[in-house]
Amino acid sequence: MDDGPEGDAPEGDAPLSAIGSLAVIQAEGRRVGRLVRFNPAIVNAMWAVAWFVGFGCAFLAYGPDRLIPGWLGPAVAAALLVAAEVASFAYGMRVGSGIAGPSRTSAAMYGWSWTLGYVCLTVLNVALTHRGLSGPDVTLLWSGSSLLLAGVLHLTGGTLFRDPALYAVGVWTMVCAAVAVVAGVPGNFLVLAFAGGGGFAALAVYTGWVRPRRARR
Amino acid sequence: MGASPAGAPVTASTGDSAPERDSPPELDPVIHAQARLRVTVALAALGPDERVTFPRLRQLLEMTAGNLSIHLRKLEDAGYVEIVKTHQRRTPVTFVALTPDGRSAFDRYVAALQSLIGTAPSHAPRNDG
């Protein structure tokens, strides 16, 4: 329902009281800010859940003493990682829709480097598997390379946005990549779930809670 | 810059019958209207180097195209908003952004509101006590 304009004046031309104006500024600033500003906490939280639950299931589905069916672990991990990628992409597109500027271009290019990086990594790993890599080596290849790529991309993000916390998580993730391979199967799944997912969870808490509270002071 | 192009700044009223103060803060009449305030707030929510297309701004504000155009023109006439018509892959696109003047006018407006409320804490004065 539209309220019709009063007389010949354009709709919404009436002045407000001072209190009313401040209320509009606060409410609208918060509402529009949520719609146009990328909130990294949302994306990091999605990735934390995908890695923790996905690779946790992969661990529980491995070996003769498995707690869930063998096919279910990799299936849950793949489904959650793809879902997280699609959701991150859709969220980024929705927030950035119709907005232009140098910082938006940088952010969009950074977002694309995650998508492109993981698409190419998937092709590379699948090709190596087809060439005869098998068993635990395939598992270690996936865990090591995906953590390494995530780490490098966090480093890039830290550099791009001048964010030391993001950079530190990148370093942590790369160290975890090496540890995951050294740990072997199925310990690598635990490294992925707790260290990899934990890195994203730490970032989600930092970007969604710690940093906004500091900025308000 | 400096003088308000849309006329002398208006004195804000904090209520229907607010008593006159010695020097009440002046509120910029270009921004001090519900619709233009909402437009300004939305544009100020973007980064200083960012601009938004007309359709996205309309969607963010849930305003009709005609109404948004009228208010944008007033803001543009005051030098607070820059409207650039360009082409993206042969499709015409209209970008809207707050100018540096617009951003500082908005900051001054917010400061004036705050000082107004600060100097007149009982914004709805009682006549019975």
Domain ranges of chain B: 26-115
Are residues A12 and B33, on separate chains, in Cβ contact within 8 Å? yes
Q: d(Cα A86, Cα A101) in Å, to the nearest integer?
A: 24
Looking at residue A37, the DSSP 8-state letter turns out to be S
| Cross-chain residue pair B45–A99, CB shorter than 8 Å | no
Residue A1: predicted pLDDT: 41
Q: Which of A47, A76, A90 is nearest to A198 (CA)?
A: A47
Is A100's CB within 8 Å of B95's CB?
yes
Domain B26-115 class, CATH top level = mainly alpha
| Cβ within 8 Å, pair B33-A36 | no
| pLDDT of B73 | 97
Mutation target vs A (from B11, B37, B87, B114; most A CBs, 10 A cutoff): B37
The two tokens of residue B31 are 């921004």
pLDDT number for residue B24: 62
Q: Mean of the per-residue pLDDT values for chain B?
A: 81
Q: Give the predicted TM-score (pTM) of the model.
A: 0.78
Better-predicted residue by pLDDT, A1 or A170: A170
Query: For B10-30, what is each residue's pLDDT tens digit?
Result: 444 444 444 444 566 788 999
Contact B70 A10 (CB under 8 A): yes
- Where is average pLDDT lowest: A201-210, B11-20, B76-85? B11-20
Please give the residue of chain A at the shortest CA–CA distance from B28: A15
- Across the interface, do B37 and A19 touch by the CB < 8 Å criterion? no
Report DSSP letters for B72-110, one per residue: HHHHHHTTSEEEEEEEETTEEEEEEEE-HHHHHHHHHHH
**Cβ of residue A4 closer than 8 Å to a chain B Cβ:** no
Residue B35 is nearest to which of A12, A19, A22, comparing CB atoms? Answer: A12
Q: What is the DSSP string of A51-104?
A: HHHHHHHHHHTSSTT-SS-TTHHHHHHHHHHHHHHHHHHHHHHHHHTTEE-HHH
CB count in 10 Å sphere of residue B16:
8
Q: What is the mean pLDDT of chain A?
A: 88
At residue A64, the pLDDT reads 87
Our CA-based measurement puts residue B123 at a distance from the nearest CA of chain A, in whole angstroms, of: 8
Give residue-wise pLDDT tens across range A25-61.
999 999 999 999 989 899 999 999 999 999 999 999 9
Q: Please report which confidence band the pLDDT of residue A10 belongs to, taking 50, 70 and 90 as the band edges.
A: low
Nearest-CA distance from A149 to chain B in Å?
A: 30
Chain B interface residues facing chain A, Cβ-Cβ under 8 Å? 10, 12-15, 27, 29, 32-38, 41-42, 44-47, 49-53, 55-57, 59-60, 63-64, 67, 70-71, 95, 110, 113-114, 116-117, 120, 123
